[in-house]
Amino acid sequence: MTPNQEGGMSSKTVHVPNISCGHCVKTIERELGRAEGVTSVSAVQDSRSVSVEWDEERTTWDALRALLEEINYPPAT
């Protein structure tokens, strides 16, 4: 899935199968929210999805995906 891009900003929604509780949601939102360039993040337990928006000049989807993998919430491929 390629990111949506608009004026230097990109966004993406991915399925993250490991989301199983509110703690998972809070962890993902906290960790991605701290990443440089991230302007918005939302994790949803029921759909096991994560939506993230970021500034392409400050970070990349590959870096955000690696962060999700590092915190044990890898997106499905």
Burial zone of 32 (CB within 10 Å; 0-12 exposed, 13-18 middle, 19+ buried): buried
Facing residues of 13 across strands?
51
Q: How many domains does the chain have?
A: 1
How many angstroms separate the CA atoms of 49 and 19, rounded?
8
Domain membership flag for residue 1? no
Domain housing 59: 10-70
Q: Which residues contact 76 (CB under 8 A, 6 or more apart)?
A: 14, 15, 16, 17
CA-nearest of 23, 26, 61, 20 to 42 is: 26
CATH number of the domain where residue 63 is located: 3.30.70.100
> What local confidence, expressed as pLDDT, does residue 6 receive?
61
In the predicted structure, residue 2 carries a pLDDT above the cut 60? no
pLDDT digits (tens, 9 = 90+) for 21-77: 999 999 999 999 999 999 999 999 999 999 999 999 999 999 999 999 999 999 997
Does 22 map to a domain?
A: yes
Mean pLDDT (whole number) for 2-27: 89
Tell me whether residue 65 is in a domain: yes
